[in-house]
Structure 1
Amino acid sequence: MRQGIVRRVAEMALRIEPNRTAVLDWILHTPLPSLGMQTTFELACNGEGERVIALLNDLLLQPGDTVPRLPQSAPPALH
């Protein structure tokens, strides 16, 4: 794992979500649909943390008045 990538992701995520506990939970437990349903931590461990950085950067650079939110996995479908 590249040293410091999780810290970089956390710093960017904190610009979107100021709650540190929520950011840590997101990094460790939230599968990201646009990144193959892997968590940020899994991606970082596999040397792909820069993909998360790019995703967060895109969110932070979106034009308009909409406040960005951390990407979430879709809720389970009801049958």
Structure 2
Amino acid sequence: MSKLTHSAIPELLGVINEEGLYGFVLELKLGTTIKDMLFKQRHIFTNNEIYMIGSQLINIIRYLKQNSIIHRDAHVFCYQ
């Protein structure tokens, strides 16, 4: 992951391996999430917006695959 350079993928800043806790420390990406748009802003996506988001996600996953990274769903914990 440390070799990835893609504007949509947070930079790997470090790794935590402490007392059975293993995780990645990633760059914070600012912006509004799709979750916030759906549930807080009640945004209704147009067909074009859905297409654009889907295309962007496919391109990101393609980039990951080309760099031998396999994406899996995971639980994300954010401590501030």
Length-normalised TM-score, structure 1: 0.33
Whichever structure has more strand as a proportion of its residues is 2
Q: Which has the higher contact order (CA 8 A, sep 6+)?
A: 1
Task: Work out which of the two has the higher radius of gyration on C-alpha atoms and give 1 or 2.
Answer: 2
The alignment's TM-score, normalised by the length of structure 2, stands at 0.32
